Structure formats: structure tokens, C-alpha cells
A and B are shown apart, each in its own frame.
Chain A
Amino acid sequence: MTHAWDAIAAEWLKLRTLRSNALLLACTLLAVLACAAVAYLIGRGFDTQTFEERLRFTGNGTGLGPGLPIAHFVLGTFGALTITSEYATGMIHTSLMAVPQRQLLLAAKIPGLAAVTLPAGQLLAFAMHLTAQSVLGERAGQILLDGQSLGIPLTDPGALTTLVAAGLSMTAAALAGLGVGATLRSTPGSLVALALLFVVLPVAVQALPAPLRAQVSAYTLAALPEEIAGTGGLLPPPAAAALLAAYPLLALTAGATAIALKRHKAAVLAAGAALTLATGLIALPATEAAPARHLAWHPCTTPGLPREMRCADLRVPLDWNHPTGRTITIPLAMLPASGTQRRIGTVISIPGGPGASGIDDLTQYQGRLDPLRRRFDVISFAPRNAVTPGGPLPHECLTTGPYLPLPRNRAEYAALARTNRAHAERCRAADPELFDHMDSASVARDIDALRAALGEPRVNLLANSYGGHPAAAYARLFPSRIRALVMDGTTSHTEDTATGEPRLYQRAERQLDRFAAWCRTDPSCALHGRDVKQVWRHLVERADRTPIPVRGDPDGTAYTGFDVKVAAAPSFTSPGREPDRPRWVQLADAIAKAADGDASGFAAYVRQATDRPKVPSPVGQNMTRCLDGGGYTGYAAYRAALAKARELSPHFAGQRAWWALACAGWPAPVTNPPAPLPGHALPPVLGVGTWTDHDEVATTIRHVPGSSTIRYDGHGHMAYLNSSSGCVTAHVNRYLTTLRLPPPGTVCPATG
């Protein structure tokens, strides 16, 4: 093969001895300039925007986007000219006289082109990246809604691979250009073809509607580097790599066929086609198999659900200890991945309550999930314990329950237990077996059945509020099946009820401080100008001595101090929409009115929510909470907790007991007691919490190494789904897509 070396060496000399080639390569600087210009424009726009608007920017990725088509075109031209200039001058005859083996002549150009474009491509890719990043400067670190940063630094996973692949794509462009040039034998013709392929096509594709646009542009040369790195686009890395090879292979096959003597054309074409096919076949098995789908997803028929939502049913054993026994149906809903980028997997949103339906969450917060859906299917479900009409257990019965007093002695405690049991039994009677399997661990096993039905080896869990309980149960049962776990405003299920109470009292006291501070500054507070804490203390003490009547109530309902605390607690926690804070206005009115001897302010809003003048303890929640160990272990534990509360919380002592007391006398045993998370078996977890629920979340995940929390610097609950904070969205999506956690102590500003 020594004469092949001679041909290669000769082509290298040809390449080297043309000054125009150096000039052409210098034109690739245009690509760097384009990257710089786009980065500059992004940066300028960025500087004029607010914090929240900045989060909504479209990322600049590794910064290559604007320059790649230009670089591909220039290098494609470089490749094409190595042969079209020979046709234009007639030198092709001289070349063929020197090397009459036509395929050899064409192939001999490849090493030279590669030798120039491999280093040049790398240099160019890194220059484009570094230029774009330095023009963006510090702004590059800004995290965006989809979890990417405005500019992706080299240290990001996949960034280096993207750049290296981008460099390689320039060699592919040059070789494809050579093939096109050999096929068309004309410089202008090749320029047009290459411009169409590398510049016009990627731009024209942008005019297509969304999913189609992504599907088509996934195959453009400029999209391949990110796809090879697995950081963008639709194609899986092996397919993208194969396509990168197929571009020059196809073009060179065409070129080799065109240059071949007539009698050789068929053989050359067949060889090239076989080679291209082989490349595809190598990529095919490496391509990830689509997850097996055992679920029959269909458009949802329930009115009021989003059009793109898909529904399905999952059958699970009622009792996971008897998996072959009776089954129940869990309704599922999916907001499918938008198909604009390669799907990473499934995020399962676990609803709170207990008793809420995740299908409602998906419906209500659909818009917030759009950035996430670029990479994930988002699925939720109406869990077995969802309190929805039409279930086997009577809905009316579940939504209400007994009024709970604060027992002053063992006899009163026993009486409370009897009342609780009576209410529970009323609901339980319809389906005792089901009623006794409402614990969060059973929900967790249902979630794993969903995972299995989806064919996903690992899941991404988004636990909301009480969804923290099933999430914790899942983490204890199947830690290795969790890819990512977001705990957003989740309740803690890692310690028993009494242990957790002090923290919750501190939270209530802090919230009262905030309420008082608001009253001092806002005249719409009925207590404006008064010592709020003193008013509250006097009100509670007075009501404990003599219950405050609800004026106009036919049943003669009256509020004890405990009742006032229970009725006020949710309103303290949730002021309502900024800046009006309607629930705090309402609460201040109710306090002021009660201080004047009329509890009807409380009764009015309680009645709105529960249809009762005082807050009943809903059986539908308790049927899960009590099995999850939400009660006290007995009267003594209750007394101890209350004594401790009186030390810690001058304004709310006893209020937390309302939750635990509901489980006294419960007819079913605790089956899912609190326990720590198996820290070392779990991947790092991301916690999200507002003023009121950050500490709970942090407590839950503190034993999982590498975990981090985002503190949303404001009121509210379930900040990811519920607040308009793009900052929270961005950090959570970043974690879910890249598994990268925000640094500890990350705070997201309140958005109102």
C-alpha cells in the first residue's frame, strides 16, 4: 500500500501549498464572532431584566449554537474545494494522471482534511465556547427554568463531550463537503448544497411547529454534539454518534460513486451503502430500548382535565402482604414529555393531604410543569387514600369527623378515644379491609407498582407536603430505585409525633411574630396599632376560662382557647396572596371580633371550608395519619408533650395535639411507623421549603449524605408546584435533569 501513502502525502502537499486554504480556515473565525455576538445580545437583554424574567431566558448552552452552522459551512466548503477546485481548473486530470485509481485519489484527500480539521475543529469549538462564556461573564451561572444555566461551563457534565463532539462535527462537515464536492464537481453547486444542508436547513426547521421542529432538527449536524453528550436534542448518544459518521459516509459514498468509472459505479455505491448501513447497525443495539409500557394510556375522559393529559388505571393488591388477594384500582394521569428534547424518564408527583389527588395537582399546576416536561413524563395518581367522591368508602363520612377537645384528664382522654373510634367505625364499616390499608407504606408500594408498570428501572419522585410520608416509605423500601427525590414542603416521617412537636411550635411562634409585624405596618389588619401578641394571649386565656360563643349559631357553639388555636393555625401559616394577604386580614378580623366576645369570625371561615362551625378532625386524613403513627403512644405521652409545649410555646401550646389526639382510640393499628431515612442507600435528596416548612424538610433529609435544601424566602407551601418562583423551578428542574444540587444555604427570593 505504499503508493496509497504517496497519494496521501501528495494530497497533504496540495492542501498545504494553497494560501487560499489558510484564508478559508481563517473564515471560521466568523463562527467565533457569531457566538460572541449572540452571547453579547443575550447578556445585554439579561441586564435589563428582573430576577424572575432572567429565569425565563432561553439558555445559550455551551455557546456554540450560533457559530456551529457557520463553522460547518466554512469547513464543508474547505472540504468541497479540495476537489471542486481541481474540477474547475481541470487539474483533476493532472491528479488522475498521477493517481489513476479514482477511489484512492478521493480517499487520499481524507487524511489531510482530517489532519487539518481535527485540531482546527477542537480549537474552534473551544474558542467558540470560551468566547461565548467570557462574553456572558458571571451571567453564565444564572440558572434557568429548565434547570440549565444561561451559559454552560466546561465543568458541567457533558459540556466537555459536547465540545469535543462539536470539534469532530467540523471534521465530519469537511469530509461531507469533500463528498458533496466530488458528487457535484462544481464549486458554486457545492456551496449552495452545503449552505442548504448546514445553514438553511437548521434555520428553516425553526419555522416548523414544536414537536416536529425538535424531531427534524435532531438530525441536523449542529444538533449532534449535544446529543452525543446526552445533554440535549432528541437522539440518544449512540444514534447521534452514528449519524455524525453517516454524514461524511453518505456524502463520500455519493462522491466516490460519481468519480468512479462507469463500470465501477455500482460496486462503489454498494460498498458505501454497506459501510453506512453497518455504522447504523452498530448504533442500533447500543440505542436504549424504549421502556416497556404495560399501561393502556388513553386520552382522559373526565371533564375538566387538560387536553394533553393521558389517563390509565393501575391495579394493585389491596394488601401488599397478600399480593395475590383482592386488588384495587389506582387512577393514573400523565402529562407526557413534550418531545422537544430527549426524554430522561418519569417524574412521579406524590400528592399530599393525606387524601389529595395528584391528578388534581397536575391539572392545577400544569403550566408550572412545562419546563420539566421537556425532559420528563410527569405522572401522578389518585392514591388509594384519596378522598374523592364515588370511592368504596362514603365520601361524606371521610370529609368530616369529631370535634376534638383538649383532654384535661385520663377520663376525658378515654372519652375522646371512644368518640374517635365511633366516627372511624362509621366510615370503616363500608369496607373495613380497605380502611385498614390506607397507610403511606402501602401507597409507596403502589408507587413502585407504577414504576414497574412504566418499565422504568428508577424513578424520580416529587413529594409534596404529606406526600413526604409515602416518599419516605418508598425511600426505606426501595432506596436503590430512586434516581432523584425532591421533598417539597414535606411532612417529616423520621421521628415520632412528640419528638417533632417542639419544632412545629417554634414555627408557629415565628409565624405569629411575622403576623404581628405585618399588623404593625398594614392598616388593613384589624389589630393595627394594638399589641397583637397580647391581644391573642388574652383571647386564648379568656376562651379557656369561658368559651366564646359564636353569635347567631343555632346550636350554641362556643370556642375554647384550644378551638381558637386550631381554627387560627392554618390562617397563620398561609396569609394568602401578596400583597393583600386576605387570610391574614380575615384572621385579624376574627381575632378582633373574638376579643370582643364573638367567635363568629372564626366560625364563618371554618364553615366555608368544612360546613361546620368548628374544625372537625377529618376521618379521611386520619385513616392514613393514624396508621402512619401520627398519634401519641398513650395518655402519658400526650401529657408529656403538652407540658413541653407549654414551656416552648406561650401562644399555641396544645395546638399540635389536635393532630395527634385524632388517633386516640383508632380502630386499626399503626402499620407504618416513623423511622429515619436509609441515608447511605439513597442518592442525595433535594429539599424545598418555605418559611413555614423549610425546617421540617431539612430535618427529614439531614441524614441523607450530599443532600441540600432550597429555602424559599416567603410564605406558602409546596413552592415548586404552588409558587411562581422561577428560582425554585430552576433549581428543582436542574436537580431532576442533571442531579446537580444547589449549594447548601441556597435561598430563593419570594415572588408574592
Chain B
Amino acid sequence: MIDVQDLTIRYGRTRAVDHLTFTVKPGLVTGFLGPNGAGKSTTMRAILGLHTPAAGQALIDGRPYTALRRPLHTMGALLDAAAVHGGRTARAHLTWLARSNHIPLRRVEEVLDEAGLHQTADRRIATYSLGMRQRLGIAAALLGDPQALMFDEPLNGLDVEGIRWIRDLLRRLADQGRTVLLSSHLMNELALTADHVIVIAGGRLIADTPVDALAARFHRDVLVRAAHPDRLAEVLRAHGATVTPGPGELSVHGLAPQTIGELALTAQIALRELTPRTATLEEAFLELTDDHPQEARR
């Protein structure tokens, strides 16, 4: 469990994170969403004790990260896949990390296997692609077999196969009851992965909701093409729908598609198309964050 409580972080006079409060619960994959510059990375750094908050705090299982004695056993994180020394091999990198937290060395082999890096473990990291570095970063996060995991933009640079691997991994980790937080600036990335999203913009919390609820909230209309649109519009209005006619189509709000279908059958109007139009998460996200222009952060 990751608890962010009234967190405020300033860069000079700028508030990068502004009284942010949320909780990341175990057993779920939580997406941490926000446009570039929203304060996601700053928040994650603050959770790891890399930033000193001006106010508030971030706790992992009730304790600040810097108070953890061997923190990798409690929390694993990937902040920046480039934050490694290119001169070391992947195995050497994981080995020193393991040694620093008294993690048995067999874990190094296990996470190398998990990340699919076994073949390349003895190559210098400088020769790695971005995707391989992401895998290495994730392997490092898994090293201490922690209950909480946090990934900043983990899908960057990964190929399709890599993305599938991460999605499966995250799902598995959540199913094991772990706390999983991953950030992204693209809602689409999270749509298939996250159970829950926390959306921030301008350093402030905008939404903290299950993904389904978010989608439902932005459920919009049903597209109807029919042989007699005018008549159908009357029928639907009579049943309480709001109908906006368009060129050869109707946009229907307020009635579920099957209700529209049944009403059309009763009225003996042939339907040519009946499409529920759900907002994509992306559209939902953009809509949400559009209400929070950049100046909010100033």
C-alpha cells in the first residue's frame, strides 16, 4: 500500500505537486495518469525519498521510504531505465543492487530470467536497446521480491512482445496481491492494463477511480441508422431519449441500445446500424485534463 498524503513539492516557487492525496491499493494495477509535466515523476520520486516534500508525506506500508532499512525488499521501482552505468554488465548491476540490500544472489538469476535477459546478462549495458534497459529496470525493481512496485513509463521503447510481457507481469503481480503503480501519459497504454487510475494534471488530483467507472462516466450516445429516422426519433423521444438528428443518422442519448432495438422492432422500423458510442479512455482522459489548463500549476 502506497499512501500519498497532502503531498506538496516545490521547485523554487513553482508547485510541481500541489496537495496531492491518493492511495494505491494492493491487488490492483493502478495507473498513474497525467499529461507530460503533470507531476507524475516528481510524485514517484517523492515516494522514494528522492525529493523532500514542502508539505505532506508519502508512506509505504505506513513508513516513509527513507526509513526503510532494506527498502528493496519492501518496494521496487523503475524510475528511469537510463539511470544505470553503461560500463557495467546487467548481471553486475543487479548484483551490486542485490548486495546492497542483502538479497540472495539467486534472485539476480531469477529476475534475469523473468526479464528475458539471461542471454545478454554479461553484456555491458551500454550495448542495450532502450527496451532491454526497460526490462533490466523492471528486473531491478523485482529483485527484492517487494510487495509494492512502481514503474514510471515502463512501456517506453518496448516492442509489442515486450508490452505484452509487462502487461502479463503486472497482472500477475497484482493478482499475487501486490501493490502496483505505473505511470503513463497515454491513457491507451493503461486501458488494457490498469484496474484503477489516478489522474493528475498540474500537480493536482483530477480523478481517482476504477477504469470501468471512468469509461462509464464518459459513455456518450448510441448511433442509429434507420429506414425512417424521423419516425424512429419520435418513438425514442416518446420513451424519454434525447435525439439529435444528423445526416442519415441519429445520435441517441438516454436509452440503452437494446431498448432502442426493441422499440424499433415494435415500431417496425428497420435498423441499419445500432452502435453504442463509448468514449475511449483516451478521449475521457483528454476531456478530463483539458479542464485543467497548464496555468493551474503556477
Contact = CB atoms under 8 A, between A and B. Distances in A.
A101 B140 CA distance: 19
Contacts of B95: 13, 17
A11 B95 CA distance: 11
Given A3-B70, A100-B65, A262-B52, A89 B82 contact: yes
A94 B88 contact: no
A86 interface: yes
Interface string B58-101: 00000001101111100001011011111111001101110111
B96 A93 contact: no
Contacts of A100: 48-49, 65-66, 68, 71
Contact of B140 (A3, A89, A94, A263): A94
Contacts of A17: 88-89, 92-93, 95-96
B96 A10 contact: yes
Given A19-B87, A89-B85, A263 B96 contact: no
A62 to B, nearest CB: 36
A97 B84 contact: no
Nearest to A19: B87
B106 interface: no
A94 B92 CA distance: 14
A11 B92 CA distance: 12
Interface string A89-103: 111111111111100
B228 interface: no
Of A6, A9, A263, which is in contact with the most chain B CB atoms at under 10 Å from its CB?
A6
A14 interface: yes
B101 A98 contact: yes
B296 to A, nearest CB: 26
B102 interface: yes
B265 interface: no
A680 to B, nearest CB: 65
Given A17-B89, A89-B85, A98-B97, A6 B70 contact: yes
A96 B80 CA distance: 13
A18 B88 contact: yes
A99 B72 CA distance: 9
A90 B83 contact: yes
Nearest to B103: A6
Contacts, number: 87
B140 A9 contact: no
B85 A93 contact: no
Nearest to B99: A10
Interface string B37-69: 000000001001110100000000000011011
Contact of A101 (B66, B80, B86): B66
**Majority secondary structure of chain B interface residues (helix, strand, loop or mixed):** loop
**Majority secondary structure of chain A interface residues (helix, strand, loop or mixed):** helix
B100 A6 contact: yes
Contacts of B84: 89, 91, 94
Contacts of B69: 3
B99 A9 contact: yes
B1 to A, nearest CB: 18
Contacts of A9: 99-100
Interface residues of A, number: 31
Contact of A97 (B77, B85, B86): B77
A99 B70 CA distance: 7
Contacts of B77: 97
Interface in A2-25: 2-3, 6-7, 9-11, 13-14, 17-20
Given A10-B97, A17-B96, A91-B83, A2 B102 contact: yes
Contacts of B102: 2-3, 6
A18 B87 contact: yes
Interface residues of B, number: 33
A208 interface: no
A261 interface: yes
Contacts of B83: 89-94
A557 interface: no
Contacts of A94: 79, 83-84, 97, 140
Interface string A57-99: 0000000000000000000000000000110011111111111
Given A100-B66, A100-B71, A90 B87 contact: no
A569 B69 CA distance: 95
A85 B87 CA distance: 10
A3 B101 CA distance: 7
Nearest to B91: A17
Of B48, B50, B85, which is in contact with the most chain A CB atoms at under 10 Å from its CB?
B85
Contact of A96 (B49, B96, B99, B140): B49
B163 to A, nearest CB: 23
Contact of B85 (A7, A10, A91, A98): A91
Contacts of B87: 18-20
B54 to A, nearest CB: 10
Contacts of A2: 102
A100 B99 CA distance: 15
A13 B71 contact: no
Nearest to A89: B85
Nearest to A5: B102
Nearest to B143: A98
A17 B91 CA distance: 10
A96 B75 CA distance: 13
B99 A13 contact: yes
Contacts of A90: 80, 82-83
A378 B272 CA distance: 119
A14 B99 CA distance: 10
A171 B52 CA distance: 34
Nearest to A90: B83
B49 to A, nearest CB: 5
Contact of A6 (B82, B99, B140): B99
A7 B69 CA distance: 11
A91 B86 CA distance: 10
A93 B50 CA distance: 7
B100 A98 contact: yes
A89 B89 CA distance: 15
A86 B50 CA distance: 14
Contacts of A95: 100
Interface string B113-146: 0000000000000000000000000001000000
Contacts of B49: 96, 100
Contact of B50 (A14, A19, A96): A96
Nearest to B72: A98
Contact of B52 (A92, A97, A263): A263
Nearest to A99: B100
Contact of A10 (B45, B80, B100): B100
A99 B84 CA distance: 15
A386 B36 CA distance: 96
Contacts of B86: 89
Contact of A93 (B70, B79, B93): B79
A248 B118 CA distance: 41
A93 B52 CA distance: 14
A20 B100 CA distance: 22
A137 to B, nearest CB: 42
Interface in A80-136: 85-86, 89-101
Nearest to A95: B100
Nearest to A16: B92
A421 to B, nearest CB: 98
21 contacts: A3-B70, A3-B102, A10-B96, A10-B97, A14-B88, A14-B96, A17-B93, A18-B88, A89-B83, A89-B86, A93-B48, A93-B79, A94-B79, A94-B97, A96-B50, A97-B77, A97-B79, A98-B71, A98-B72, A98-B97, A100-B65
Given A10-B99, A91-B85, 15 more contacts: A3-B70, A6-B100, A10-B96, A13-B92, A14-B96, A17-B89, A89-B83, A90-B83, A93-B48, A93-B83, A94-B83, A94-B84, A96-B49, A96-B50, A100-B65
Interface of A: 2-3, 6-7, 9-11, 13-14, 17-20, 85-86, 89-101, 261-263
A-B CB proximity, top 9 nearest = A10-B100, A90-B83, A17-B92, A13-B96, A100-B66, A98-B100, A10-B99, A10-B96, A18-B87
